[in-house]
Structure 1
Amino acid sequence: MEDLARLVGQRLRVARRERGLSVGALADLAGIGKGSLSEVENGQRNPTLSTLYALAGALELPLSSLLADRPGARVTSPGVEALLLDVRESGEATVEVYRLVLDAGAHHRSVPHGPGVVEHLLLTRGRARVGRAGEEVEIGVGETAEWVSDVAHGYAALSDEPVESVLVIRSPSRAVSSGGGPSDQEI
Protein backbone atom coordinates (compact mmCIF):
# COMPACT_ATOMS: atom_id res chain seq x y z
CA MET A 1 0.00 0.00 0.00
CA GLU A 2 2.79 2.43 0.87
CA ASP A 3 4.57 1.72 -2.44
CA LEU A 4 1.45 2.53 -4.44
CA ALA A 5 0.79 5.69 -2.39
CA ARG A 6 4.40 6.76 -3.05
CA LEU A 7 4.08 6.01 -6.76
CA VAL A 8 0.79 7.94 -7.00
CA GLY A 9 2.49 10.86 -5.27
CA GLN A 10 5.40 10.80 -7.69
CA ARG A 11 3.16 10.66 -10.76
CA LEU A 12 1.00 13.45 -9.36
CA ARG A 13 4.04 15.66 -8.76
CA VAL A 14 5.38 15.02 -12.28
CA ALA A 15 2.01 15.82 -13.89
CA ARG A 16 1.63 18.98 -11.79
CA ARG A 17 5.10 20.22 -12.70
CA GLU A 18 4.64 19.39 -16.40
CA ARG A 19 1.67 21.75 -16.34
CA GLY A 20 3.62 24.46 -14.53
CA LEU A 21 1.33 24.41 -11.48
CA SER A 22 2.34 25.09 -7.90
CA VAL A 23 1.03 22.88 -5.11
CA GLY A 24 -1.31 25.71 -4.09
CA ALA A 25 -2.61 26.23 -7.63
CA LEU A 26 -3.39 22.53 -8.14
CA ALA A 27 -4.99 22.30 -4.69
CA ASP A 28 -7.24 25.24 -5.60
CA LEU A 29 -8.18 23.71 -8.97
CA ALA A 30 -8.99 20.36 -7.35
CA GLY A 31 -10.80 21.87 -4.37
CA ILE A 32 -8.59 20.18 -1.78
CA GLY A 33 -6.27 21.52 0.91
CA LYS A 34 -2.71 22.45 0.03
CA GLY A 35 -1.41 20.43 3.01
CA SER A 36 -3.40 17.37 1.91
CA LEU A 37 -2.00 17.63 -1.62
CA SER A 38 1.53 17.93 -0.26
CA GLU A 39 1.00 14.80 1.86
CA VAL A 40 -0.35 12.88 -1.17
CA GLU A 41 2.59 14.00 -3.33
CA ASN A 42 5.03 12.86 -0.64
CA GLY A 43 3.36 9.45 -0.28
CA GLN A 44 2.37 10.24 3.31
CA ARG A 45 -1.37 10.04 2.73
CA ASN A 46 -3.53 7.42 1.02
CA PRO A 47 -5.87 9.51 -1.13
CA THR A 48 -9.52 8.56 -1.46
CA LEU A 49 -11.17 7.87 -4.79
CA SER A 50 -12.85 11.28 -4.60
CA THR A 51 -9.53 13.07 -4.01
CA LEU A 52 -7.82 11.23 -6.86
CA TYR A 53 -10.69 12.02 -9.24
CA ALA A 54 -10.55 15.69 -8.24
CA LEU A 55 -6.80 15.80 -8.89
CA ALA A 56 -7.00 13.84 -12.15
CA GLY A 57 -9.82 16.11 -13.33
CA ALA A 58 -7.89 19.27 -12.47
CA LEU A 59 -4.91 17.91 -14.42
CA GLU A 60 -7.18 16.68 -17.26
CA LEU A 61 -5.78 13.16 -16.93
CA PRO A 62 -7.43 9.76 -16.73
CA LEU A 63 -7.47 8.43 -13.16
CA SER A 64 -5.44 5.41 -14.29
CA SER A 65 -2.49 7.65 -15.17
CA LEU A 66 -2.15 8.55 -11.49
CA LEU A 67 -2.46 4.85 -10.63
CA ALA A 68 0.53 4.16 -12.91
CA ASP A 69 -1.76 2.35 -15.38
CA ARG A 70 -1.43 -0.72 -13.12
CA PRO A 71 -4.27 -3.24 -13.14
CA GLY A 72 -4.96 -4.31 -9.58
CA ALA A 73 -4.70 -0.79 -8.15
CA ARG A 74 -7.59 -0.29 -5.73
CA VAL A 75 -8.97 3.03 -4.53
CA THR A 76 -11.82 3.69 -2.15
CA SER A 77 -14.04 6.37 -0.71
CA PRO A 78 -16.71 5.81 1.93
CA GLY A 79 -19.18 3.28 0.49
CA VAL A 80 -17.43 2.83 -2.87
CA GLU A 81 -14.48 0.86 -4.19
CA ALA A 82 -12.88 0.95 -7.65
CA LEU A 83 -10.46 -1.72 -8.82
CA LEU A 84 -8.55 -0.96 -12.03
CA LEU A 85 -8.91 -3.98 -14.33
CA ASP A 86 -7.36 -2.73 -17.57
CA VAL A 87 -6.06 0.35 -19.38
CA ARG A 88 -5.62 0.66 -23.13
CA GLU A 89 -4.28 3.53 -25.20
CA SER A 90 -5.38 4.07 -28.74
CA GLY A 91 -4.24 6.96 -30.88
CA GLU A 92 -7.21 9.00 -29.80
CA ALA A 93 -8.27 7.83 -26.36
CA THR A 94 -7.41 6.16 -23.09
CA VAL A 95 -9.89 3.45 -22.13
CA GLU A 96 -9.98 2.45 -18.46
CA VAL A 97 -11.94 -0.53 -17.14
CA TYR A 98 -12.85 -0.71 -13.45
CA ARG A 99 -14.82 -3.02 -11.19
CA LEU A 100 -16.95 -0.54 -9.24
CA VAL A 101 -18.70 -1.67 -6.05
CA LEU A 102 -21.10 0.43 -3.97
CA ASP A 103 -22.11 -0.64 -0.49
CA ALA A 104 -25.84 -1.16 0.07
CA GLY A 105 -27.49 2.25 0.26
CA ALA A 106 -24.28 4.11 -0.65
CA HIS A 107 -24.28 7.32 -2.67
CA HIS A 108 -21.17 8.64 -4.40
CA ARG A 109 -20.92 12.01 -6.15
CA SER A 110 -18.05 12.32 -8.62
CA VAL A 111 -16.52 15.62 -9.69
CA PRO A 112 -16.54 16.58 -13.38
CA HIS A 113 -13.87 14.88 -15.45
CA GLY A 114 -12.12 16.50 -18.40
CA PRO A 115 -13.74 17.53 -21.68
CA GLY A 116 -14.87 14.65 -23.87
CA VAL A 117 -14.75 12.00 -21.11
CA VAL A 118 -17.52 9.40 -21.46
CA GLU A 119 -18.52 6.77 -18.89
CA HIS A 120 -20.25 3.46 -19.65
CA LEU A 121 -21.61 1.42 -16.74
CA LEU A 122 -22.87 -2.19 -16.83
CA LEU A 123 -24.60 -3.39 -13.67
CA THR A 124 -23.84 -6.98 -12.64
CA ARG A 125 -25.54 -6.98 -9.22
CA GLY A 126 -28.16 -4.85 -7.47
CA ARG A 127 -30.03 -1.78 -8.62
CA ALA A 128 -28.57 1.72 -9.02
CA ARG A 129 -29.31 5.29 -10.02
CA VAL A 130 -26.42 6.69 -12.07
CA GLY A 131 -25.45 9.48 -14.42
CA ARG A 132 -25.09 13.23 -14.73
CA ALA A 133 -26.49 15.30 -11.87
CA GLY A 134 -30.16 15.92 -12.57
CA GLU A 135 -30.21 13.40 -15.44
CA GLU A 136 -29.67 10.14 -13.51
CA VAL A 137 -31.28 6.90 -14.69
CA GLU A 138 -32.21 3.79 -12.77
CA ILE A 139 -30.69 0.52 -13.98
CA GLY A 140 -30.66 -3.11 -12.86
CA VAL A 141 -28.66 -6.25 -13.51
CA GLY A 142 -27.64 -6.56 -17.16
CA GLU A 143 -28.60 -2.96 -17.97
CA THR A 144 -26.25 -0.18 -19.00
CA ALA A 145 -26.01 3.58 -18.78
CA GLU A 146 -23.75 5.99 -20.63
CA TRP A 147 -23.07 9.69 -20.07
CA VAL A 148 -20.58 12.44 -20.78
CA SER A 149 -18.92 13.04 -17.42
CA ASP A 150 -17.75 16.63 -17.86
CA VAL A 151 -20.16 17.68 -15.10
CA ALA A 152 -20.84 16.36 -11.59
CA HIS A 153 -22.31 12.87 -11.76
CA GLY A 154 -23.06 10.11 -9.35
CA TYR A 155 -23.79 6.55 -8.41
CA ALA A 156 -26.37 5.46 -5.83
CA ALA A 157 -27.09 1.92 -4.64
CA LEU A 158 -30.87 1.49 -4.48
CA SER A 159 -31.08 -2.04 -3.11
CA ASP A 160 -30.35 -3.66 0.26
CA GLU A 161 -27.37 -5.41 -1.27
CA PRO A 162 -24.11 -4.08 -2.67
CA VAL A 163 -24.13 -2.89 -6.25
CA GLU A 164 -21.46 -4.39 -8.49
CA SER A 165 -20.67 -3.05 -11.91
CA VAL A 166 -18.14 -2.70 -14.68
CA LEU A 167 -17.25 0.90 -15.41
CA VAL A 168 -15.53 1.86 -18.66
CA ILE A 169 -14.18 5.40 -18.92
CA ARG A 170 -13.07 6.72 -22.30
CA SER A 171 -10.90 9.87 -22.15
CA PRO A 172 -9.30 11.80 -25.01
CA SER A 173 -5.58 10.94 -25.04
CA ARG A 174 -3.17 13.16 -23.19
CA ALA A 175 0.51 12.46 -22.61
CA VAL A 176 1.73 11.76 -19.08
CA SER A 177 5.04 10.45 -17.85
CA SER A 178 4.94 6.76 -17.19
CA GLY A 179 6.52 4.70 -14.53
CA GLY A 180 6.41 1.29 -13.01
CA GLY A 181 5.03 0.25 -9.69
CA PRO A 182 3.32 -2.42 -7.71
CA SER A 183 0.03 -3.93 -8.70
CA ASP A 184 -2.83 -5.36 -6.66
CA GLN A 185 -2.18 -2.79 -3.98
CA GLU A 186 -4.72 -0.67 -2.19
CA ILE A 187 -4.65 3.08 -1.64
Structure 2
Amino acid sequence: MVVDDAAQSVLARVGPRLRALRQERQTTLAHLSRSTGISVSTLSRLESGQRKPTLGLLLPLAAAHRVTLDDLVGAPPATDPRVPARPFTRDGHTFVPLTRHSGTGRHAFKQIIETGRGRAGELERRTHEGYDWLYVLTGRLRLVLGEQDLVLTAGEAAEFDTRTSHAFGNAGDAPVEFLSLFGQHGERIHVRARPRSAAVDG
Protein backbone atom coordinates (compact mmCIF):
# COMPACT_ATOMS: atom_id res chain seq x y z
CA MET A 1 0.00 0.00 0.00
CA VAL A 2 2.94 2.27 0.67
CA VAL A 3 4.12 1.78 -2.91
CA ASP A 4 0.65 2.59 -4.23
CA ASP A 5 0.52 5.80 -2.19
CA ALA A 6 3.94 6.85 -3.44
CA ALA A 7 2.92 6.17 -7.05
CA GLN A 8 -0.28 8.16 -6.62
CA SER A 9 1.71 11.05 -5.19
CA VAL A 10 4.02 11.06 -8.22
CA LEU A 11 1.10 10.87 -10.65
CA ALA A 12 -0.67 13.76 -8.90
CA ARG A 13 2.32 16.00 -9.58
CA VAL A 14 2.43 15.26 -13.30
CA GLY A 15 -0.44 17.58 -14.30
CA PRO A 16 0.92 20.72 -12.60
CA ARG A 17 4.39 19.84 -13.90
CA LEU A 18 3.11 19.61 -17.47
CA ARG A 19 1.32 22.95 -17.19
CA ALA A 20 4.39 24.63 -15.65
CA LEU A 21 6.68 23.34 -18.42
CA ARG A 22 4.32 24.48 -21.16
CA GLN A 23 3.82 27.94 -19.67
CA GLU A 24 7.53 28.33 -19.01
CA ARG A 25 8.22 27.66 -22.68
CA GLN A 26 5.33 29.94 -23.71
CA THR A 27 3.74 27.14 -25.71
CA THR A 28 0.01 26.86 -26.34
CA LEU A 29 -1.97 23.65 -26.05
CA ALA A 30 -2.67 23.83 -29.78
CA HIS A 31 1.04 24.06 -30.62
CA LEU A 32 1.87 21.21 -28.25
CA SER A 33 -0.92 19.14 -29.80
CA ARG A 34 0.57 19.61 -33.27
CA SER A 35 4.06 18.60 -32.13
CA THR A 36 2.97 15.52 -30.15
CA GLY A 37 -0.14 14.30 -31.96
CA ILE A 38 -2.07 14.38 -28.68
CA SER A 39 -5.43 16.14 -28.83
CA VAL A 40 -5.90 19.51 -27.13
CA SER A 41 -8.66 18.09 -24.92
CA THR A 42 -6.43 15.23 -23.73
CA LEU A 43 -3.59 17.66 -22.98
CA SER A 44 -5.96 19.90 -21.04
CA ARG A 45 -7.29 16.97 -19.00
CA LEU A 46 -3.75 15.79 -18.28
CA GLU A 47 -2.77 19.20 -16.95
CA SER A 48 -5.88 19.46 -14.79
CA GLY A 49 -5.46 15.94 -13.39
CA GLN A 50 -8.67 14.66 -14.99
CA ARG A 51 -6.75 12.24 -17.25
CA LYS A 52 -4.40 9.61 -15.85
CA PRO A 53 -0.93 9.95 -17.44
CA THR A 54 0.30 6.92 -19.35
CA LEU A 55 3.68 6.11 -20.88
CA GLY A 56 2.21 6.54 -24.36
CA LEU A 57 1.26 10.14 -23.49
CA LEU A 58 4.29 11.06 -21.42
CA LEU A 59 6.97 9.95 -23.90
CA PRO A 60 6.00 12.40 -26.70
CA LEU A 61 5.49 15.17 -24.13
CA ALA A 62 8.96 14.60 -22.66
CA ALA A 63 10.42 14.73 -26.18
CA ALA A 64 8.50 17.93 -27.02
CA HIS A 65 9.69 19.66 -23.85
CA ARG A 66 13.22 18.23 -24.23
CA VAL A 67 13.26 16.81 -20.70
CA THR A 68 13.80 13.28 -19.48
CA LEU A 69 10.86 11.16 -18.41
CA ASP A 70 12.19 11.29 -14.84
CA ASP A 71 12.21 15.09 -14.95
CA LEU A 72 8.70 15.12 -16.36
CA VAL A 73 7.20 13.03 -13.57
CA GLY A 74 9.39 14.54 -10.86
CA ALA A 75 11.12 11.30 -9.99
CA PRO A 76 14.00 11.44 -7.49
CA PRO A 77 17.31 12.34 -9.16
CA ALA A 78 19.56 9.52 -10.20
CA THR A 79 22.53 8.78 -7.99
CA ASP A 80 24.88 8.97 -10.99
CA PRO A 81 25.96 12.64 -11.20
CA ARG A 82 27.16 12.38 -14.80
CA VAL A 83 25.20 14.28 -17.43
CA PRO A 84 24.62 12.07 -20.48
CA ALA A 85 26.03 13.61 -23.64
CA ARG A 86 23.17 14.02 -26.10
CA PRO A 87 24.42 16.45 -28.76
CA PHE A 88 22.00 17.92 -31.28
CA THR A 89 22.22 20.47 -34.08
CA ARG A 90 20.31 23.72 -34.54
CA ASP A 91 20.91 26.00 -37.53
CA GLY A 92 24.36 24.56 -38.17
CA HIS A 93 25.49 24.77 -34.53
CA THR A 94 26.12 21.59 -32.55
CA PHE A 95 25.00 21.79 -28.92
CA VAL A 96 26.22 19.42 -26.20
CA PRO A 97 24.14 19.85 -23.00
CA LEU A 98 26.31 20.09 -19.89
CA THR A 99 23.51 20.38 -17.33
CA ARG A 100 20.36 18.42 -16.64
CA HIS A 101 17.13 20.11 -17.69
CA SER A 102 15.04 20.77 -14.62
CA GLY A 103 12.79 23.32 -16.33
CA THR A 104 14.18 26.31 -14.42
CA GLY A 105 17.31 28.41 -14.18
CA ARG A 106 20.33 28.58 -16.44
CA HIS A 107 21.64 25.75 -18.56
CA ALA A 108 25.17 25.20 -19.84
CA PHE A 109 26.09 23.97 -23.31
CA LYS A 110 29.23 23.27 -25.26
CA GLN A 111 28.76 24.68 -28.75
CA ILE A 112 30.66 23.74 -31.90
CA ILE A 113 30.52 25.77 -35.11
CA GLU A 114 32.17 24.20 -38.14
CA THR A 115 34.41 26.12 -40.52
CA GLY A 116 32.79 28.24 -43.20
CA ARG A 117 29.82 29.25 -41.05
CA GLY A 118 29.61 32.97 -40.47
CA ARG A 119 33.25 33.82 -41.14
CA ALA A 120 32.26 36.89 -43.14
CA GLY A 121 29.10 38.67 -44.20
CA GLU A 122 25.78 39.01 -42.46
CA LEU A 123 24.65 36.65 -39.74
CA GLU A 124 21.11 36.05 -38.53
CA ARG A 125 20.89 38.19 -35.40
CA ARG A 126 18.65 37.48 -32.46
CA THR A 127 17.39 39.36 -29.42
CA HIS A 128 15.72 38.19 -26.21
CA GLU A 129 15.48 38.98 -22.53
CA GLY A 130 18.37 38.13 -20.22
CA TYR A 131 22.15 37.75 -20.40
CA ASP A 132 24.39 35.29 -22.23
CA TRP A 133 27.83 34.19 -21.08
CA LEU A 134 30.38 32.35 -23.20
CA TYR A 135 33.97 31.09 -22.99
CA VAL A 136 36.03 30.05 -26.01
CA LEU A 137 37.77 26.68 -25.68
CA THR A 138 39.40 26.35 -29.11
CA GLY A 139 39.30 28.19 -32.42
CA ARG A 140 38.18 31.72 -33.30
CA LEU A 141 34.63 32.78 -32.46
CA ARG A 142 33.00 35.65 -34.32
CA LEU A 143 30.61 37.58 -32.07
CA VAL A 144 28.44 40.22 -33.71
CA LEU A 145 26.95 42.37 -30.95
CA GLY A 146 25.04 45.49 -31.92
CA GLU A 147 27.45 47.61 -33.97
CA GLN A 148 30.48 45.56 -32.88
CA ASP A 149 32.00 42.73 -34.90
CA LEU A 150 34.44 40.92 -32.60
CA VAL A 151 36.70 37.85 -32.78
CA LEU A 152 37.31 35.94 -29.55
CA THR A 153 40.08 33.36 -29.26
CA ALA A 154 40.76 30.48 -26.85
CA GLY A 155 40.67 31.61 -23.23
CA GLU A 156 38.53 34.69 -23.85
CA ALA A 157 35.07 35.14 -22.35
CA ALA A 158 32.16 37.49 -23.00
CA GLU A 159 28.96 38.41 -21.20
CA PHE A 160 26.31 40.68 -22.64
CA ASP A 161 22.76 41.91 -22.40
CA THR A 162 20.84 39.85 -24.93
CA ARG A 163 18.37 42.63 -25.65
CA THR A 164 21.19 43.81 -27.95
CA SER A 165 21.02 41.99 -31.28
CA HIS A 166 23.72 39.32 -31.49
CA ALA A 167 24.95 36.39 -33.56
CA PHE A 168 27.77 33.83 -33.51
CA GLY A 169 30.00 32.59 -36.33
CA ASN A 170 33.28 30.80 -36.97
CA ALA A 171 36.08 33.25 -37.80
CA GLY A 172 38.81 30.65 -38.26
CA ASP A 173 39.99 27.77 -40.41
CA ALA A 174 39.08 25.09 -37.84
CA PRO A 175 35.94 24.35 -35.82
CA VAL A 176 35.38 26.73 -32.93
CA GLU A 177 34.29 25.27 -29.59
CA PHE A 178 32.94 27.35 -26.74
CA LEU A 179 30.94 27.07 -23.55
CA SER A 180 27.73 29.04 -23.18
CA LEU A 181 25.26 29.72 -20.38
CA PHE A 182 21.67 30.48 -21.34
CA GLY A 183 18.73 31.56 -19.21
CA GLN A 184 15.23 30.42 -20.14
CA HIS A 185 14.71 33.01 -22.90
CA GLY A 186 18.15 32.47 -24.42
CA GLU A 187 17.78 28.71 -24.42
CA ARG A 188 14.40 28.96 -26.12
CA ILE A 189 15.73 31.30 -28.83
CA HIS A 190 19.17 29.78 -29.51
CA VAL A 191 18.68 26.14 -28.64
CA ARG A 192 15.04 25.38 -29.38
CA ALA A 193 14.44 27.67 -32.36
CA ARG A 194 14.21 25.92 -35.68
CA PRO A 195 16.52 26.92 -38.55
CA ARG A 196 15.50 30.03 -40.48
CA SER A 197 12.74 30.84 -37.98
CA ALA A 198 11.86 34.37 -36.95
CA ALA A 199 13.69 34.16 -33.64
CA VAL A 200 13.05 37.58 -32.15
CA ASP A 201 11.67 37.87 -28.67
CA GLY A 202 10.64 41.22 -27.18
TM-score by length of 1: 0.51
Runs of 4+ residues deviating >4 angstroms: 16-20
Q: Is it true that 1:169 corresponds to 2:168 in the alignment?
A: no
The residue matched to 1:94 in structure 2 has which SS?
Answer: coil
Aligned-pair identity in percent equals 17
Structure 2 match to 1:129: 142
Distance 1:73 1:144 in 2: 25
2:127 match: 112
After TM superposition, the structure 1 stretch with the greater mean CA deviation from structure 2, 94-103 or 143-152, is 143-152
Q: Is the 8 A contact 2:67 2:101 kept in 1?
A: no
Find the aligned partners of 1:99 and 1:110 in 2 and give their Cα distance: 20
Q: Does 1:95 align with 2:106?
A: yes
Residue in 1 aligned with 2:35? 40
CA contact 1:118–1:171 (8 Å) conserved in 2: no
Counterpart for residue 85 of structure 1: 98
Task: Quote the offset at 1:80 in angstroms.
Answer: 1.1
Cα shift readout 1:68-111 (whole Å, capped 9, x = no counterpart): 2775343313431111111587xxx7121100000012136353
**Per-residue deviation at 1:152?**
3.5
- Count of aligned positions: 125
- Which entry has the higher C-alpha Rg, 1 or 2? 2
Where does 1:16-27 land on structure 2 (aligned, <5 Å)?
21=28, 23=30
The yes-or-no answer on 1:15 pairing with 2:47 is no
Q: Are the aligned partners of 1:73 and 1:84 in contact in 2 as well (CA < 8 Å)?
A: yes
Q: Going by fraction, where is strand more abundant, 1 or 2?
A: 1
In structure 2, C-alpha distance between the alignment counterparts of 1:75 and 1:38, rounded to whole Å = 23
Q: Which runs of 5+ in 1 are unaligned?
A: 1-10, 27-36, 44-64, 173-187
Shift of 1:135: 3.1
